[in-house]
Chains A and B, each alone.
Chain A
Amino acid sequence: MNIHEYQAKQIFAKYGVPTPKGLMAESVKQAVANAETLGGSIWVVKAQIHAGGRGLGGGVKLARSLEEVEQLSKEILGMTLVTHQTGPEGKLVQKLYIEEGADIKEELYLGVVLDRAREMPVIMASTEGGMAIEDVAHNTPEKIIKIAVDPAIGFQGFHGRELVFGLGITDSNEQKKLISFASKLYKLYMENDAEMIEINPLVKTGSGEFLALDGKMGFDDSALGRHPDIEDMRDISEEDADEREAGKYGLSYVSLDGEIGCMVNGAGLAMGTMDTINYMGGTPANFLDVGGSANAQTVAKGFEIILKNPKVKAIFVNIFGGIVRCDRIANGILEATKLVDVHVPVIVRLDGTNAPEAAEILRNANIANVIAATDLADGAAKAVAAAKQAK
């Protein structure tokens, strides 16, 4: 789960990680009021969406008067912001963050992520702040410092020294401040079961202070149960409605832009099914894992979600029945076709326990739309052919 910048900064503040002062607004009026409350003569109006690259997309702008705050808020609130992380369809801006301006002397990058190879959190830092870190990693990897922190010992002095010397910070006062900054960041990463924190940029001000000018946080979904305060920060308008709906029924769904709907048991086989469709010259419309217990209800829900997409021209149901026997799944599929109006060809491949009985059930049902397949390759080929025919 991801949260907004303003929410990440609330967590930062709780741990004493310095940030500029700011307030969230959901209307232009509130934005202006926030600027007045903050005081000063310069403000930043920032679009709040769950994606990076907001500045380049025109979602972060500087205002030098309250009139400008009003003007910019009108422009940004309600706009569809397109960044390299939103995809071409962009994201609707429904919230703003009004922040006091900062006296920026240098822009750095600081983040904490899980290093899967080392199996521990790694602090990533760079002098190249304000740029997409993927680009820095690609073009000048030597400019990224990585410091793995073993949770068994936590953030130690040497981690801090590696950080400041790596960034070329020589002033002892600044060293102390940045080490303290990073140590708090590590602490909040661990205590909140974060999956990633990214501060880009982390700025050094004219007076030698370090401030988190931006803040991005993602959390381990498996750990949200023990963090009700984080769960409360969930903004469902930022999440894909179909993915959310599917999740309620224990289905794992991701929409893609192809023509063949997929319904599969198991994440690996679901990806493998998409790959096979692609290999055979078709295009998958979605990833859908119906989980271990594919029954009439879950299959019907799967059909419903897949068929919401008007591009879908055929559906490939690919189930490897293990503990759940194929004959039961076949009956479930037939029942599901009665619950949902399935108006495209459905290719069904059932393999594993009791597969011959399942094939018999499908044959006897004799539903025009339901085509039985013998194995994965056969099913994918039939689905690709059916989608082509529908054109």
Chain B
Amino acid sequence: MSILVNKDTKVIVQGFTGKEGSFHAEQCLAYGTKIVGGVTPNKGGTEHLGQPVFNTVKEAVKTTGATVSMIFVPPAFVADAVMEAADAGIDLAVIITEGAPVRDMQAAKAYAIKHNMKTIGPNCPGIITAEECKIGIMPGMIFKKGNIGLISKSGTLTYEGANQVVKQGFGISTAVGIGGDPIIGLSYKQLLPMFEADPETHAIVMIGEIGGDLEIQAAAYIKEHITKPVVAFIAGQTAPAGKRMGHAGAIVSGGAGTAAEKMAALEAAGVKVVVSPADIGKAISEVLAK
């Protein structure tokens, strides 16, 4: 068990033959991900990385039976690609691209919801079910199989957290990088119940950052519905207000979205909150020893 994706998940790649798409699709294939094809307009009928290339997502889905799409198209074309995937009946789109306009993502997400398509990202490392299926750009070798679920807005903090969990003798069930943009797809609130329901997940690591209120929503949800232990870290305690910290969404605006308020809300919900990401692994050991 795991959440969202596993060894049987069939994946196509939008932006398959581009530089990024090619490089990472190859890495995913090497990891064992069932990439069954890709989409690049005007390259339909050819083959790439030993897989068929299609002109449209519809054709790709019809021929391969893929249910997940990994999206690598350039920022200006992300919304179009997401909507095409939704229209073609894809169940989950994993959007890796960074720098898509907010207005585009607003429209694309609304359309995806209308078509019952889940989205992850944009501006994220993707999703990995350890030793089964990697859909994204994370270094697969860090993610040893185990019983910790991980949800993170940050790519490198996902690796940092997973690495520490593994060093403590545990492993990862599924790790989801949800992205650092102002508007993102699946978030803590949608992923927490999936981990709660997954018998293979025994505890959850949640990594957030300044900006927006998704972590506050998560705290309210955890308080009411989550029985598994949760460890959280919120990045940006020392970030100045009004400054964007790398991620488009990582900004304290109008005094709202601070790390302090998120940490307080999570603590009040019974979450073990660590002040430094260096303590994530230790904290998992502690909550599981109880």
List chain A positions with a Cβ less than 8 A from chain B: 85, 114, 116-117, 119-120, 133-134, 137-138, 151-152, 190, 193, 195, 220-223, 225-226, 252, 254, 256, 264-272, 274-280, 284, 287, 289, 320-323, 351-353, 375-377, 380
Contacts and interface: CB of A to CB of B under 8 A. Distances in A.
A98 B240 CA distance: 33
A194 to B, nearest CB: 9
B156 to A, nearest CB: 3
B127 to A, nearest CB: 15
A376 B278 CA distance: 6
A272 B217 contact: no
Contact of B277 (A190, A265, A376): A376
B156 A353 contact: no
Contacts of B275: 275, 279
27 contacts: A114-B102, A116-B182, A222-B99, A222-B100, A222-B102, A222-B248, A252-B246, A254-B239, A256-B240, A266-B156, A267-B247, A268-B152, A268-B155, A269-B154, A271-B209, A271-B235, A272-B276, A275-B236, A275-B275, A284-B238, A287-B246, A320-B156, A352-B142, A352-B163, A376-B276, A380-B276, A380-B278
B98 to A, nearest CB: 9
Interface in B73-107: 75-76, 99-104, 106-107
A228 to B, nearest CB: 14
Given A114-B182, A193-B102, A266 B277 contact: no
A152 B240 contact: no
Interface string B222-260: 000000000001011111101111111110001100010
Contacts, number: 171
B283 interface: no
Contacts of B233: 272
B200 interface: no
A333 to B, nearest CB: 17
Nearest to A240: B243
Given A116-B182, A117-B212, 16 more contacts: A116-B212, A116-B213, A133-B254, A151-B106, A190-B103, A193-B101, A223-B104, A266-B154, A271-B245, A275-B277, A280-B276, A287-B239, A320-B159, A322-B137, A323-B137, A375-B278
Contacts of A120: 106
A221 B98 CA distance: 12
A270 to B, nearest CB: 6
Given A271-B210, A276-B276, A223 B103 contact: yes
A116 B256 CA distance: 11
Interface string B172-211: 0000000010110000000000000000000000010111
B103 A151 contact: yes
Interface residues on B, range: 35 or more
Interface of B: 27, 75-76, 99-104, 106-107, 109-110, 137-139, 141-142, 152-157, 159-160, 163, 180, 182-183, 207, 209-213, 217, 233, 235-240, 242-250, 254-255, 259, 275-279
Nearest to A191: B103
A353 B162 CA distance: 13
Nearest to A323: B139
A386 to B, nearest CB: 17
B245 A352 contact: no
Given A137-B254, A252-B246, A117 B277 contact: no
B213 A266 contact: no
Contacts of B75: 222
B155 A266 contact: yes
Contacts of A284: 238
B182 to A, nearest CB: 5
Most B Cβ at <10 Å: residue of A137, A266, A284? A266
Contacts of A133: 254
A223 to B, nearest CB: 4
B280 to A, nearest CB: 10
Contacts of A272: 154, 157, 160, 233, 235, 276-277
A267 B278 contact: no
A254 B156 contact: no
Contacts of A289: 246
Given A114-B102, A117-B217, A222-B75, A268 B238 contact: no
Contacts of A351: 160, 163
Contact of A267 (B104, B163, B180): B180
B71 to A, nearest CB: 16
Contacts of B109: 119
Contacts of A152: 107, 110
Contacts of B240: 254, 256
A203 B92 CA distance: 48
Contacts of B180: 267-268
B156 A269 contact: yes
A85 B139 contact: no
A371 to B, nearest CB: 17
A323 B97 CA distance: 16
B187 to A, nearest CB: 11
B103 A193 contact: yes
B104 to A, nearest CB: 8
Contacts of A134: 254-255
Which of A114, A226, A284 has the largest number of chain B CB atoms within 10 A?
Answer: A114
Q: Which of A151, A271, A320, A353 has the most CB of B within 10 A?
A: A271
A271 to B, nearest CB: 4
